[in-house]
Amino acid sequence: MTDAELVLEARRVRDRAHAPYSRFQVGAAVLDASGRVYSGCNVENASYGVTICAERAALCRAVAEGASEIVAVAVIADTAGPVRPCGACRQFLVELAPKARVVMANLAGEVDVATAEELLPKRFRM
């Protein structure tokens, strides 16, 4: 699967985001080594602390469904430049997919790619 195809899957699931408070819809798609794709969107709650980001939703789905090694993650939103994962999502990414390509995109077609480790080089470790 190409990065463009993974971004397209993230864009499709973005339309299902539950964002009644921020109106900021985000979609994500995770690709594992076996070629399976797991998607997720942000789901807001009036208690913002329990809101789940698209990246974490897709990663949790991948884990729950027994994904093999995660090789790529795409995330897309309606932003001025390619959307960037928040700090919590970066920690999730670096723990579950440290070498994965993170393909960050916006609706205008702009794309940036980095690894999870590049996005969070001095991560929290136990």
The pLDDT tens digits for 38-66 are 999 999 999 988 999 999 999 999 999 99
Domain boundaries, the chain: 3-119
Q: How far apart are CA 13 and CA 25, in angstroms?
A: 10
Q: What angle do CA 74, 115, 95 make, to 5 degrees?
A: 90
Pick the catalytic residue from 44, 55, 110, 118.
55
pLDDT of residue 125: 72
> Smallest Cα–Cα separation from 58: which of 31, 79, 83, 78?
31
Name the percent of the chain lying above pLDDT 90: 91
pLDDT of residue 48: 86
Q: Does domain 3-119 have CATH number 3.40.140.10?
A: yes
Residue 21 has pLDDT above 70, yes or no: yes
Residue 113 has pLDDT above 80, yes or no: yes
For residues 109-114, give the mean pLDDT. Answer: 98
> Smallest Cα–Cα separation from 55: which of 33, 23, 87, 20?
87
- pTM, 2 dp: 0.94
Q: Is 44 a catalytic residue?
A: no
Residue 95 has pLDDT above 70, yes or no: yes
Residue whose tokens read 């913002």:
48
Residue 126 has pLDDT above 70, yes or no: no
For residues 67-77, give the mean pLDDT. Answer: 96
